Structure formats: structure tokens, C-alpha cells
């Protein structure tokens, strides 16, 4: 984690532009004063002022909130590290984790900034414990569709998390296939904006065991990821082709049963 500025006391006015960290902070009991547009879990965050996206930060809005600490998503928002630091006492830029152990490390480091070490360790331990499951498939591929097809790298937290719940990930995969998808996989987790797929996607999935998930089911590492992947693994075991009740669709409140495993 890159820290610019000084955290001499527990930050009281906190803005998070990192959706995964935003969710963890909410479970940790930290009340935010601002968020990015994608920080929607838990649902309580929707009432907060929106300060930016992954690629754009509204500096005037951010400055008006007088933050003690701003959390960025690094390296996606690296160009905003210095500009944001002009309006905040401190900026924490959180690098994209490479595996589940690094995710747990991020959560523990964040909890220490807020002097909530024990609670942070407890939540991080539950997170790790939830990512367990019996072997289901080997040679698994995860595809995330933006403007191009993003394939979860073999050395990514997505690959590691899927492997832990029983969907053993393919080895040696790069991250982006701009024109076509990888040719071989025994099982595919395909993240889509809806149930309707375009012709080339239908052709790619034809004859392959797969499950389609709503957007932002696997492309995050917040506390909901293990809960989402439990549903993906359950669907895979049952031969279902679509997972519906995931956090990006339900947008659960903190008080909902969704977060019960963390209580």
C-alpha cells in the first residue's frame, strides 16, 4: 500500500474510491463521507456523495468533503495520487492484490490505520475461511467483459479465489484477449451484463460446461467475493447455467442475512 501524507490519528472523514475496500470499511464499522460510483456494497453506501469513477475523480467535490484520508485503487487511479493529496491529509493507494493472501493483507493493513486491529483480523480470517470448497472442475477459465475480453490471469486473486472454492484455475494465462477468447477450458465462468449473450459468445460457450454471472460478481475482492463464489461453485456443482442472487444484484444492507457469516 502506498501512503502519501501522514496519518497521525485515526481518520474521521474518509473517502474510498476503491469499491472492494469500501465494503470492507463498512463491515469494519468505518463511516465514509464519500465514495466512487461503483461502491454499492453494502447498500448504505449509495446515500453517500459520489466523488468519481475508476478513471475520473471530481476534485472539487472531493475537496468540499475535507477528507482526512482518501483510498485509491492503484494503479488504475495512479495519476490522481498527487492531485488528491493536495486536498486530503493522507492518501492510501491500494494495489490490486495478486492472490487471496494479499487481499487479507490489505484488509489487515487498512484496519490498523483505524486502530481496529482485532476486528480487522477477525474479518480477514472469516474471509479466508469462506473461500474453501471441494474440488469441482480443473482447467477453469474466468472471462470478464468490458470493451474487450478480460481474462483473469493465472496469477490473480480471481484465479486463486476460484481455485480455493473448487474451481481449479488454468495456468499460464495472460490477462487480455482483444480479438478472441482462449481456445481451451473445461469450465468457464463468464461475467456478463445480462443473460443475453452475443453470437460469438454463445459460440464460444457452446459445448463447454459454464456458468454466466452478472457483472461484478468476480471482478472485485471485497467481503462479498467469498459469498458470491460460494453461489458460483454451487451452480457449477448443480450444472446450472446462470447465477442470479449475487451481491451486485442484491445490493445487500449491512443488516441483511447476506453478511451474517461476518457477524
pLDDT of residue 203: 76
Is it the case that residue 147 has pLDDT exceeding 70? Answer: no
> Which has the minimum average pLDDT: 42-56, 191-205, 247-261?
191-205
Read off the CATH number of the domain in which 101 is found: 3.40.50.1980
Domain boundary among 71, 106, 129: 129
What total number of domains does the chain contain? 2
Q: Are residues 234 and 167 in the same domain?
A: yes
DSSP symbol at 57:
B
Query: Pick from 95, 129, 163: which residue ends a domain?
Result: 129
For residues 9 and 118, membership in a common domain is answered with yes
Both 142 and 225 in one domain: the answer is yes
Render pLDDT for 219-242 as a digit per residue (tens, 0 to 9). 899 999 999 999 999 999 999 999
Same-domain check for residues 146 and 208: yes
Alpha-carbon separation of residue 20 from 36, 104, 220 (angstroms): 11, 12, 6
Residue 257 is part of which domain span?
137-262
- Give yes or no: residues 150 and 252 share one domain: yes
pLDDT at 61: 96
Per-residue model confidence (pLDDT) at position 177? 58
Q: How far, CA to CA in Å, does 130 sit from each of 10, 197, 229? A: 29, 31, 9
Q: Give me the helices (H) in the chain, please.
A: 19-28, 59-64, 81-85, 100-113, 117-130, 157-164, 199-205, 224-238, 247-250
Last-in-domain residue among 75, 95, 129:
129
Write out pLDDT tens, residues 71-130. 999 888 889 899 999 999 999 999 999 999 999 999 999 999 999 999 999 999 999 999
| Cβ–Cβ < 8 Å for 127, 137 | no
CATH number at residue 158: 3.40.50
Amino acid at each position: 500500500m502506498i501512503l502519501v501524507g501522514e496519518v497521525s490519528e485515526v481518520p474521521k472523514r474518509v473517502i474510498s474510491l476503491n469499491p472492494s475496500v469500501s465494503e470492507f470499511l463498512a463491515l469494519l464499522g468505518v463511516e465514509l463521507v464519500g465514495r466512487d460510483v461503483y461502491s454499492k456494497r453494502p447498500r448504505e453506501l449509495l446515500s453517500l456523495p459520489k466523488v468519481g469513477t475508476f478513471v475520473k475523480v471530481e476534485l472539487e467535490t472531493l475537496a468540499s468533503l475535507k477528507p482526512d484520508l482518501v483510498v485509491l485503487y492503484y494503479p488504475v487511479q495512479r495519476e490522481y495520487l498527487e492531485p488528491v493529496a493536495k486536498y486530503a491529509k493522507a492518501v492510501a493507494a491500494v494495489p490490486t492484490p495478486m492472490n487471496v493472501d494479499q487481499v487479507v493483507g490489505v484488509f489487515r493493513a487498512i484496519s490498523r490505520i483505524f486502530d481496529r486491529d482485532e476486528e480487522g483480523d477477525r474479518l480477514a480470517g472469516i474471509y479466508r475461511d469462506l473461500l474453501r470448497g471441494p474440488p469441482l472442475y480443473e482447467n477453469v477459465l474466468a472471462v470478464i467483459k468490458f470493451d474487450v475480453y478480460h481474462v483473469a490471469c493465472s496469477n490473480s486473486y480471481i484465479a486463486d479465489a476460484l481455485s480455493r472454492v473448487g474451481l481449479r484455475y488454468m495456468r499460464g494465462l495472460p490477462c487480455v484477449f482483444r480479438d478472441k477468447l482462449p481456445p481451451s477450458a473445461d469450465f468457464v465462468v463468464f461475467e456478463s451484463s445480462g443473460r443475453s449473450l452475443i453470437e460469438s459468445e454463445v459460440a464460444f460457450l457452446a459445448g463447454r460446461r459454464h456458468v454466466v454471472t452478472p457483472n461484478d460478481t468476480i471482478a472485485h475482492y471485497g467481503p462479498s467475493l467469498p459469498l458470491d463464489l460460494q453461489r458460483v461453485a454451487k451452480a457449477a456443482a448443480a450444472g446450472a447455467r446462470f447465477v442470479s442472487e449475487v451481491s451486485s444484484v442484491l445490493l445487500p444492507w449491512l443488516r441483511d442475512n447476506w453478511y451474517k457469516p461476518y457477524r
